[in-house]
Structure 1
Amino acid sequence: MASPQQQVTNLAIHSQETTVTSYQWKTLWASTIGYALDGLDLMVLSYVMSIIITHFKLNSAQAGFVSTITLIGAVIGGYTFGVLADIFGRVKTFSLSILIFAIFTGTTAFVHNILWFDVTRFMAGLGLGGEFGIGMTLVAEAWPKRFRARATGVVASGFVIGMVVALVCAMLFVPHFGWRSVFLIGTLPALFAWWSRRSLKEPELWVKRQRTKKVPLSHLFASPKKTGTTFGLVIITSVQNFGFYGIMTWLPTMLAKQLHFSFNKSLTWTFVTILGMLAGILLFGVLADKIGRKTAFIIFQLASAVMVWVFFRQTDPVVLLVLGAVLGFFVDGMMAGYGAAIAEHYPTEARSTAENFIFNTGRAVGGFGPFVIGYLSLTHSLSWALGLLSVIYVIAALAVVFLIPETKNANLV
């Protein structure tokens, strides 16, 4: 039987794991806003892509490269800011990355040729790159383990909220003020996110473990088993990004060009897909905390393979509307799990590095999604090219089965 002192200790630990503090809510709020910028930035570009193609007289491969160059900037920024966050602190690095993003997003509105458009997109991507990993690290370190996947799921939902804001901006402002207006408006939430983080303190776990002599990146390859885990996580984040960016960059254009939907009608169909994404993210977080990370990932990955294959073979508007929500539910629902799954495999002194290295390596691979889809559509239809993405989700499921251990209820060290 446990001693009275041990009983008190156990009660305190249980209380910590079941009670959510105001500080934990603040980390969740700040990180969710930050990641909303990622969704806002991506979808602003996606929604106005057909207009930009006309304005700068681009072919589909050149248009795909605009998205790719943004993601390349995000990858470089993610690697850099991930390491800086482990060394100098999550909150400080967060704020700097947001400020860079805000400045160059606003600058995009004033360029007059495709070269400078690509340059400003690259620079905005640099600032954007740290958002996912640092925000997920901050929340994972602050929240109780029993709610960890749900908390990182809420952060992931910020991405979808940003997409919705982008949609509203595109529908309200583009028809009246042109495509440049949405990039100017995109600076406002970035500045608000920067302001909201000024009073946020560093998590205690990082403060206690911030002195380390080991290079953070080396923790990801500390043993053959850990290297295999890192490789598996890179595979599933690569599939996530390749599929998502490929689909969401080209879906509005496919609806407009191939099915002749109007601008606002294309956005309506995309909006329904986004609502499905939000529902999928919130449910995935609950499932991952209940049944485990591996099982939740495998279910969603196999369902994504089926839905991608089915969706892009439809032409009926009503069927596309219904299936769009289901497609979004599974394809993006998995975003809820990456923050928790990555955080639970690596120590505090390398956690932000791991989050940003793994996810942004996946982003680097995924960044070629829009380009590959655009290139394939030069000789085939967009729907045909997009339908091929179903294969990659099967590959992701195999990676989860064979390479990634279960970490449900793991204590962070």
Structure 2
Amino acid sequence: MEKTLVADGSSQAAEAALDDKAEARRELALISARLERLPFSRWHGKVLATVATGHLFDAFDAVTIAFVLPVLVVLWNMTPGEVGLLISVGYLGQFIGALLMGSAAERFGRLPTFRVSLVIIALFSFSSVFAWGLGIFLVFRFMQGIGLGGEVPVAATYMNELSPAKNRGRIIFTLQSGFALGTMVTGLIAVWIIPKYGWQSMFVVGSLPIILAAILPRLAPESPRWLAANGQIREADRIVTQMENRLSSEARAKLPPLEVVTPPLRKRPSFGQLFNDGLAARTVGVWIIACCTSLTGYGLIAWMPTLYRTEYQLPVETALRYGMISNAVGFIAIFIGVLLIDYIGRRLTFMLGFFGSAVPMLYMAYVGTALPAFQVMVYASISLMFITFLLGGLYVYAPEIYPTRIRATGAGAASAWLRIGSIIGPVIVGALLTHASIHAVFVLFGGAAILGGLAVLTLGLETKGRALDEIAS
């Protein structure tokens, strides 16, 4: 009799535990449904501007190396291999940061992880001011890369979870405009202050993210989806209620009925889940897309100012100006992407970006140094314009193809593959310049874009207009 009672008690406890889990899933589904039906409001605009400012700082610190290299190449008598190593080591830090911060965001929350990333960026930017040679500079660039690599995927995941399905593509693409604006601002500031105050001045400016980190909790709340998924239903409800109350009475009256999609039974988050439950093809596809985007996009951003200086023999000021012009074109391309991504969809936008970027690169591979430097700048700018559709759009796509429990991990892993392309690309380019020619460099950039386009064609998933819970299921 006693054994029977014990067995009955265990059964009842198990049933109660299952009921609790089911209730938690229903609460999460309700929070998600309330977020999905909200229109874009001033509340969203404030948070978007805050996170986009973090992207701007991230871009400034990531791209600064491209504008100080033309000076350091001469100052430190660097070889092409050392230039490639210096670029790659920063991206190695970003690779590690994307994985570490993605996992940290699942455990500790999106906002605290975003904040820590900003502190790391600022700290090691300021440290770089005091670098006395290549060795110590490599250390500082690696450490700063951990923050740079963590900020982008965590911020993109955070904004994805706040954005309604109808406008999510445009919102996240607009977020990425902060990064594109940062690259353009970097060029403008570099042209002005490097000749006047020296290369170290760029890293003084790069320490400004510490200010945003200090005031971030006053400007943005934690992701309600993350809170609900981690049992903090009351706090999630408070934030969503605040978002709803910011709407006018007329706007609240027009809210559509709730469409609640209960997510499947929640599993403990792990990296291996990126390949389970039908996610393997999505994961492999987004990794290939990310790596190819990086080889072409960051290859153009990081290497072109130095190529203008070393291969086309332009003065430093002209090389920096040409790099700035290309970055300005990339910034304009972001707004084209904003219009396209929720209109023609992710797949068509990405294929247009990859194949459109490949054509100018392959033409320059054929012509090489026979082209005047100005024409090279024009073709490089066109290629960067198209690949910017991917540089911005990847962070729309990567977080939305995964469920909430592993969204930051999935986005972080995709971002890590972006960094892998950034690590191996400069090393390959340095080797090609040493043992081959600039023709081979442009073949690398164009070939990577073609491979990326084929990956979108065969493995890409169309997510336009679909709720996150619907995509995950």
The TM-score, its normalising length taken from structure 2, stands at 0.80
Output the CA distance in 1 between the equivalents of 2:224 and 2:335. Answer: 27
Output the CA distance in 1 between the equivalents of 2:430 and 2:109. Answer: 39
For residues 41-190 of structure 1, the aligned pairs below 5 Å read 41-188=61-208, 190=209
**Conserved 8 A contact 1:38-1:162:** yes
Output the CA distance in 2 between the equivalents of 1:149 and 1:15. Answer: 15
Cα RMSD for the two superposed structures:
2.0
Alpha-carbon offset, residue 22 of structure 1:
3.0
Output the CA distance in 1 between the equivalents of 2:141 and 2:374. Answer: 35
**What is the percentage of aligned positions where both structures have the same residue?**
25
Task: Kindly provide the amino acid, as one letter, of the partner of residue 216 in structure 2.
Answer: R
Alpha-carbon offset, residue 48 of structure 1:
1.2
Alpha-carbon offset, residue 293 of structure 1:
0.8
Partner residue of 2:392 out of 328, 336, 341: 336
**Conserved 8 A contact 2:35-2:163:** no
Output the CA distance in 2 between the equivalents of 1:46 and 1:274. Answer: 11
Alpha-carbon offset, residue 196 of structure 1:
4.2
Is residue 2:259 matched to residue 1:206?
Answer: no
Output the CA distance in 2 between the equivalents of 1:34 and 1:303. Answer: 29
Is residue 2:311 matched to residue 1:255?
Answer: no
SS of equivalent to 2:343: helix
2:415 corresponds to which residue? 359
SS of equivalent to 1:358: helix
Of residues 306-315 and 371-380 in structure 1, the stretch that sits farther from structure 2 once superposed is 306-315
Output the CA distance in 1 between the equivalents of 2:364 and 2:331. Answer: 18
1:350 corresponds to which residue? 406
Is residue 2:317 matched to residue 1:264?
Answer: yes
2:276 corresponds to which residue? 222
Output the CA distance in 2 between the equivalents of 1:166 and 1:65. Answer: 22
Task: Kindly provide the amino acid, as one letter, of the partner of residue 364 in structure 1.
Answer: I
Is residue 2:422 matched to residue 1:369?
Answer: no
SS of equivalent to 1:155: helix
Is residue 2:44 matched to residue 1:24?
Answer: yes
- Against the structure 1 CA distance between its residues 96 and 18, is the aligned structure 2 distance closer, same or farther, given a 3 Å change threshold? closer
**Conserved 8 A contact 1:77-1:129:** yes
Of residues 15-24 and 38-47 in structure 1, the stretch that sits farther from structure 2 once superposed is 15-24
Output the CA distance in 1 between the equivalents of 2:173 and 2:166. Answer: 13
Deviations 1:215-255 (A, max 9, x none): 242331113x4111100100000011111222222101111
1:7 corresponds to which residue? none
Unaligned runs of 5+ in 2: 1-32, 232-265
2:335 corresponds to which residue? 282
**Conserved 8 A contact 1:30-1:196:** no
2:284 corresponds to which residue? 231
SS of equivalent to 1:64: helix
1:8 corresponds to which residue? none
**Conserved 8 A contact 2:90-2:144:** yes
Which structure: larger Rg? 2
1:242 corresponds to which residue? 295
State how many pairs are aligned: 399
- Against the structure 1 CA distance between its residues 169 and 126, is the aligned structure 2 distance closer, same or farther, given a 3 Å change threshold? same
Of residues 81-90 and 168-177 in structure 1, the stretch that sits farther from structure 2 once superposed is 168-177
**Conserved 8 A contact 1:294-1:400:** yes
Alpha-carbon offset, residue 379 of structure 1:
2.4
